[in-house]
Amino acid sequence: MFEPETETILSPHLFAKRMLRFCAAAGLMISLALLVGVTGYHHFAGFGWVDAFLNSSMILSGMGPVGELRTTAAKLFASFYALFSGIVFIAVVGTLFAPVLHRIMHTFHVDGKGR
């Protein structure tokens, strides 16, 4: 996936292409997580599509829920979706920072072996 230490560092143009691929992967993760949330809030909480999208977006971005949850199923879904959103956040941040951190480490030839 990344070039080894023995190869030269990528040109800015190729690095920009790599970043676009990783940004697309992060966008896909966010889109799928949002789809899960919208569908779940619509089904379990009985929210309309716009309200389900609002709640999902707010939870996924770490802001918190907007609508009131009345049923046990809706509350359980919201709890598990909040936990899932935390994991998605970590995965997206890791996906976005991986190429940048690799480029920095590659610049200094740090490979984690203490050399």
Q: Which residues contact 40 (CB under 8 A, 6 or more apart)?
A: 52, 56, 77, 81
What pLDDT does 4 receive?
Answer: 81
Residue 64 domain flag = yes
- Tens of pLDDT, residue by residue, the chain (115 residues): 788 877 888 899 999 999 999 999 999 999 999 999 999 999 999 999 999 999 999 999 999 889 899 999 999 999 999 999 999 999 999 999 999 999 998 888 755 555 4
Predicted structure pTM score: 0.85
- Specify the number of domains making up the chain: 1
Nearest to 69 by CA among 87, 49, 43, 88: 43
Note down the domain range covering 65: 30-108
Please report, for the domain that includes residue 73, its CATH number: 1.10.287.70
Which residue type sits at 66? Answer: V
Residue 53 domain flag = yes
